[in-house]
Structure 1
């Protein structure tokens, strides 16, 4: 009975994502429902080129809550029992620009994953470095020890990376190493919001 319950739950989760995608989130990639804003994530440029994770799909919902936003991602069609890392990005494709680590995300045995993050996810989301200064060298040889100065840069896109090259290869994707996890030893990008214009990512459509 417990196995049946888990199986039914997984089927319903996949169906929910598929229904939202089929209902227009992909054809019309962003929609507002009251104060909630929903949009889709799609396979990354690299995943499409390698023809891997062909069934990956995700729906993102951003809901204002007091001074912050609650961002929830529901994904399906991922490789099972695989770890991912979520970033807010300046650009959805390489070179990605300013990138901010948000959360880990792990798929279950059915390739379904969900994560909720609370923060600033709207038209005011940005990073700034008024000047250059020393930076923590947490991972010697990988971390920058100073930062370049830059004016405010808005970051309106989302990207999801495989947590390791080994997990990417197991999913049939390329095995390059990228800095997009806590140890800077992640795999390639799996999904992103590249279905939106580079300079008009979906978070730019969320009011402050």
Structure 2
């Protein structure tokens, strides 16, 4: 082997070793990443008895150090139906400050499982130091925000993506803003078994 080839081999070996070390570092959680919690979501209040009577969800959250990993497993829902998950201020109407986490789609058995990575801990909050112009992505959007101090959002809620799907399942045919187009159906699951000011996301430091 020539001197140049030998040097290239050594450089390649060092590079590969560096990549392996980086991969190991990224795959290894921080020291406090074992902080975790589990809890249930239950049917939302004031729903008709025939509205998805067996709906329930299990939620697990674990710290990744830089953020949290949350897995929602829901069952007892209408099959092949889309739902929208939100982090919310309080579990029941009027819900307060809320932000869109993502979608869940049930299979033919009415089961949905989805994992999200974001801030799902006692540090989950929103703040608006002052009034500012807001982007008009949809017609229903506000043109500016109200100013408010930090508000922690420690509850979860799940909504029907479509009022028509809700009606088919024996649930109220109402329109709410809880999807990407702001034309969702009613809330079906929430963390309402926890006090308003002590939502389960607050269990994670």
TM-score grouping bracket, smaller chain normalisation: 0.7 to 0.9
C-alpha contact (below 8 Å) 1:50/1:174 kept by paired residues: no
Query: 1:46 offset after TM fit, Å?
Result: 3.5
2:80 & 2:40 partners in 1: Cα distance?
Answer: 22
| 1:193 paired residue number | 191
The gaps in structure 1 that reach 5 residues or longer are 1-33
Report the TM-score, using the length of structure 2 for normalisation: 0.82
For residue 45 of structure 1, give the secondary structure of its aligned residue in structure 2: coil
Aligned-residue CA RMSD (Å): 1.0
1:120 & 1:203 partners in 2: Cα distance?
Answer: 9
The gaps in structure 2 that reach 5 residues or longer are 1-33
For residue 52 of structure 1, give the secondary structure of its aligned residue in structure 2: coil
For residue 85 of structure 1, give the secondary structure of its aligned residue in structure 2: strand
Large movers: runs of 4+ above 6 Å: none
Q: Rg larger in 1 or in 2?
A: 2
| 1:93 paired residue number | 92
Q: What is the aligned length?
A: 172
Which string of whole-angstrom CA distances, capped at 9 and with x for unpartnered residues, describes residues 70-122 of structure 1? 00001111110010000000010000000000001000000000011101111
| 1:37 paired residue number | 37
| 1:169 paired residue number | 167
C-alpha contact (below 8 Å) 1:46/1:190 kept by paired residues: no
Report the TM-score, using the length of structure 1 for normalisation: 0.81
1:39 & 1:60 partners in 2: Cα distance?
Answer: 5
Which string of whole-angstrom CA distances, capped at 9 and with x for unpartnered residues, describes residues 146-188 of structure 1? 0000000000000000001001001100000000000000000
